[in-house]
């Protein structure tokens, strides 16, 4: 255990992990309904959560306020020439404070609360660094309310699409109206945008949302990239027929064709050594009766890989295989890309510092990609991105069973704190490298 959070002035102080878990629970109590955690963008729960986060930021010694999209923004000034100085470039830490419906309490809040606790720890110890630290609680990452994700981080990165303001939620309320009701000015979202030179880097701690760290028996891991994703919608059309009267050789069974495609997708991804994952999550067979050969089947394909080049190659290879299957079976095929997200690779110089912090905390350094999306996917447009993953039980996320052990939350926070205190900017790293050459 690092000595930082063991004692202060000789008194027992709660660990970073304990403080974080207490706050995780306090934040999780702010929900649309008490039974199921739900805190969607610009709701009154969202507003209450923002106020709580602002209060924590301020008590951690930060200046804190909402920005134009509802992000919670705290800033802890740095020190130059022995004196606090405003306007220094910042190391930005963050994660999101919206949730899916019937959510777990860790996805988003863990990274955000851990960052606030790290700053609070620095503040308690009177530590200031030669750069500012900003903590950003992104207002919308999940995209539940307006079916458009990363709204908070896109506003900060200056890539917010203004047409999204006209999107409406299930109750018919537009994002523009919702922003006004929240007390924000939809015509000034541009004011949330930050400039590249203001940021030294963007660092995020997040639960893994997968089972790999648990399998590796590790509390934390170094994220290599936030994998890009391509989603496709496939429709195979054959010929419906009586299950008893059409001989096997005369069938154009759309479901048998889809099954062959699903097996081919799985086989292709399973034999890939570079982290490609492919999922068919949705399928519908029509007419869908026990005694009728399916004439039409629709299914989705979700493909992710740690690099765009690898994913794109995989997509075209899988499309070719599906086309071949459809042709051989005399099925007509419609195949459309419905969604495409580029990969956000973590910067090598940041991965190295994450790895150093993990090693210094006494853990084996283990690298893994993030298959889930994160705010870094938007932040990469204005900053190099690094990420720390924390183990979550069973890899379960977006579910009330989502769980992080106290020891793991503490380990993650200590890694983050060490990262902050030992942080060297890209320029400093480059200078150090040139000296050592």
Binding site for its own copies (CB under 8 A): 208-212, 215, 227, 229, 231, 241-250, 253, 255-256, 258-260, 262-263, 266, 269-270, 272, 275-283, 285, 287-294, 300, 302, 304, 370-373, 395-398
Shortest Å distance, C-beta 224 to its own copies: 13
Q: CA neighbours within 13 Å on the CB side: how many for 207?
A: 29
- Which of residues 17 and 295 has its CB atom nearest to its own copies in the complex? 295
Shortest Å distance, C-beta 104 to its own copies: 12
- Which of residues 34 and 244 has its CB atom nearest to its own copies in the complex? 244
Nearest to 306 by CA among 344, 351, 268: 344
- Which of residues 83 and 250 has its CB atom nearest to its own copies in the complex? 250
- Which of residues 176 and 304 has its CB atom nearest to its own copies in the complex? 304
- What tokens were used for 142? 């999940």
Shortest Å distance, C-beta 379 to its own copies: 18
* Non-local CB neighbours of 369 within 8 Å, separated by 6+ positions: 223, 224, 225, 226, 227, 275, 306
Nearest to 206 by CA among 73, 113, 76: 113
- Which of residues 126 and 247 has its CB atom nearest to its own copies in the complex? 247
- What tokens were used for 136? 């950003």
- Which of residues 58 and 399 has its CB atom nearest to its own copies in the complex? 399
Q: Specify the 3-state DSSP secondary structure of 43.
A: coil
User: E strands within 246-396?
Assistant: 277-279, 283-286, 292-293, 296-305, 332-341, 344-345, 367-370, 385-390
Shortest Å distance, C-beta 101 to its own copies: 13
Shortest Å distance, C-beta 301 to its own copies: 8
How many helices (H) and strands (E) are present in the chain, helices listed first?
12, 20
Shortest Å distance, C-beta 271 to its own copies: 9
What are the DSSP calls for 133-185, one per residue?
EEEEEES-SS-TTTS---HHHHHHHT---GGGGG-B-TTS-BHHHHHHHHT--
Shortest Å distance, C-beta 411 to its own copies: 20
Distance between CA atoms of residues 179 and 129, nearest Å: 35
Shortest Å distance, C-beta 393 to its own copies: 13
- Which of residues 329 and 414 has its CB atom nearest to its own copies in the complex? 329
Q: Specify the 3-state DSSP secondary structure of 248.
A: helix
Length of the chain: 437
Q: Give the pairing of strands 385-390 and 277-279.
A: unpaired
- Which of residues 288 and 362 has its CB atom nearest to its own copies in the complex? 288
């Amino acid at each position: 255990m690092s000595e930082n959070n063991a004692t202060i002035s000789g008194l027992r102080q709660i660990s970073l992990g304990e403080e974080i878990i207490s706050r995780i629970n306090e934040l999780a109590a702010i929900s649309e309904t008490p039974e199921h955690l739900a805190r969607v963008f610009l709701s009154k729960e969202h507003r209450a959560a923002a106020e709580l986060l602002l209060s924590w930021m301020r008590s951690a010694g930060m200046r804190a306020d909402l920005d134009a999209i509802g992000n919670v923004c705290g800033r802890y000034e740095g020190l130059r020439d022995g004196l606090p100085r405003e306007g220094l470039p910042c190391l930005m830490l963050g994660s999101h404070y919206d949730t899916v419906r019937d959510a777990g309490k860790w996805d988003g809040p863990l990274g955000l609360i851990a960052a606030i606790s790290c700053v609070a720890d620095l503040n308690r110890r009177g530590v200031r660094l030669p750069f500012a630290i900003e903590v950003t609680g992104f207002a919308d990452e999940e995209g539940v309310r307006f079916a458009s994700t990363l709204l908070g981080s896109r506003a900060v990165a200056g890539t917010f699409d203004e047409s999204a303001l006209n999107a409406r939620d299930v109750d018919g309320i537009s994002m523009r109206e919702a922003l006004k009701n929240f007390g924000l000015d939809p015509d000034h979202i541009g004011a949330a945008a930050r400039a590249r030179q203001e940021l030294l880097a963007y660092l995020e701690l997040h639960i893994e949302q997968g089972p790999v760290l648990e399998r590796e028996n590790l509390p934390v891991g170094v994220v290599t990239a936030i994998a890009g994703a391509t989603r496709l919608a496939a429709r195979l059309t054959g010929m419906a027929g009586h299950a008893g009267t059409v001989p096997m050789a005369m069938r154009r069974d759309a479901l048998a064709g889809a099954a062959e495609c699903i097996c081919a997708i799985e086989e292709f991804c399973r034999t890939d050594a570079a982290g490609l994952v492919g999922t068919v999550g949705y399928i519908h067979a029509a007419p869908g009766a026990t005694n009728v050969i399916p004439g039409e089947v629709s299914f989705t394909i979700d493909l992710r890989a740690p690099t765009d080049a690898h994913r794109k190659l995989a997509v075209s290879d899988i499309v070719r295989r599906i086309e071949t299957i459809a042709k051989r079976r005399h099925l007509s095929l419609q195949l459309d890309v419905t969604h495409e997200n580029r990969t956000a690779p973590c910067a090598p110089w940041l991965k190295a510092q994450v790895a150093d912090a993990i090693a210094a905390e006494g853990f084996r350094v283990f690298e893994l990609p993030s298959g889930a999306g994160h705010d870094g996917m938007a932040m990469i447009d204005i900053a190099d991105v690094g990420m720390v993953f924390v183990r979550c039980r069973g890899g379960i996320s977006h579910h009330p069973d989502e769980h992080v052990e106290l020891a793991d939350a503490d380990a993650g926070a200590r890694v983050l704190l060490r990262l902050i205190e030992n942080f060297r900017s890209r320029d400093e790293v480059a200078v150090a490298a040139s000296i050592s050459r």
